[in-house]
Amino acid sequence: MKTDDPSEILAHNIEEFAPGLKDAAFVEDLMKSVMGRCEQLDKVIVEAAPDWPIEKISVVDRNVLRLGLYELLFADRKEVPAKVAINEAIELAKTYGGENSGKFINGVLGAIYKEIGEPGKEEVSKRKKNKFKDVPYEKMPLEQLGGAVVYARDGEDIYVALVHDIFGHWTLSKGRMIPGEDPLPGTIRKIKEEIGVDIDIQEKLGENEYIANDPEVGKKRKNVTYFLAKAKHEDLKLEEGGGLDDARWFKLSEIVDLNFYDDILPLVTKAVNILLDKK
C-alpha cells in the first residue's frame, strides 16, 4: 500500500488487523487529535524526560507516549480518567514495545501526572473495565524479593553500591526470589546477578511491601526483605535489562543529595547510621 495519508493508512490497518472494529471513528479522531497537538505533546515529553531526546526514543514508545499524554491532558476525564489513560498506555507499551517500555512509559506519564496534581485518583473508566476481580489484600498473590544496602571499605572510606533506574532514581539492588527460597541466600544470588559482586550479609534492615499490577494475574503483593551486606570495593557489572541503566559506588558523604524513592530512603538512612557507628 503506497500512500502518505494517515486516514488511508489507518483504514488499511483496521481492515487488515482488526476487521469489524466498532470504534474505528473514535480511533481516527484520536489519531487526528494527537497529530494536531504533536509539537505541543513533544515539548511536554522533553520536559518530563530530559535525558531522553525525542528522536532517541523508540518509535513505539514515542507514539505510545503521545497517545497517553494526549488522553492525560486533553481527553474528557469522564470518559477516560487520568490514571486509566496512563494504565492503558503502559499496557500498549508492554504489548508492542521492548522489555522496558512499560516501565519507561509509566515513569514519564507518572511524573507528568504528579506534576498536574494527580487528578481523579479514584475514578474508573467507562470505556474499559478491569478484567480481574478485586480481591482482599490478604488473598492477593504474594511475591517475595530480596535486596540490600551493599557497602565496601577502601582505606578509611566507606562506599555504598547503588543502582539507577530509567525513572531517574538511585535505589537498592534487589531481585525476585525463587518460590520457597530463603531470602538470605536468595538475596546473595540476586545481588551477584544484578551488579556482579559477592556479598556477605551482616544484618536485616527491614521489609517493604507494596501492591503491583500484573497483566497476567491482576493485583499482587510484593514483599521485599532488605539487608545490610558487605562486599569488596571492585568494579560493578550491571546486569542487562530490568529497567536499570547504571550501577555505581558512592562515598557516604556523596549520597545525601541523590534522588531516592521515599520508601527506600529510610532503609539507606538506617544503614548509614549503622555504618557510621561501626566506623
For the chain (279 residues), the mean pLDDT of every run of 10, in chain order, is 75 76 86 93 87 86 94 85 90 87 91 79 52 73 93 95 82 92 95 96 91 66 93 93 82 91 89 88
Superfamily for domain range 137-278: Nucleoside Triphosphate Pyrophosphohydrolase (3.90.79.10)
CA distances from 172 to 80, 147, 157, 279 (A): 35, 7, 20, 22
- The CATH class of the 37-115 domain is mainly alpha
Amino acid at position 42, single letter: D
Supply the pLDDT for residue 216. Answer: 62
DSSP symbols for the chain: -----HHHHHHHHHHHHSTT-TTHHHHHHHHHHHHHTHHHHHHHHHHH-TTS-GGGS-HHHHHHHHHHHHHHHHS-TTTS-HHHHHHHHHHHHHHHS-TTHHHHHHHHHHHHHHHTT-TTTT---SS---SS----GGGS-EEEEEEEEEEEEETTEEEEEEEEETTS-EE-EEEEPPTT--HHHHHHHHHHHHH----EEEEEEEEEEEEEEETTTEEEEEEEEEEEEE--S----PPSSTTEEEEEEEEGGGSTTS---TTTHHHHHHHHHHHHHH-
Dihedral, CA of residue 246, residue 247, residue 250 and residue 255, to nearest 10: 60
Amino acid at position 4, single letter: D
Supply the pLDDT for residue 125. Answer: 47
Supply the pLDDT for residue 77. Answer: 78
Supply the pLDDT for residue 1. Answer: 45
Supply the pLDDT for residue 120. Answer: 64
- HSE on the CB side for 23, CA within 13 Å? 7
Ranges of CATH 1.10.940.10 domains, the chain: 37-115
Ranges of CATH 3.90.79.10 domains, the chain: 137-278
Q: What are phi and psi of 159, to 5 degrees?
A: -115, 150
Secondary structure of 66-89 as H, E, C letters: HHHHHHHHHCCCCCCCHHHHHHHH
Supply the pLDDT for residue 190. Answer: 95
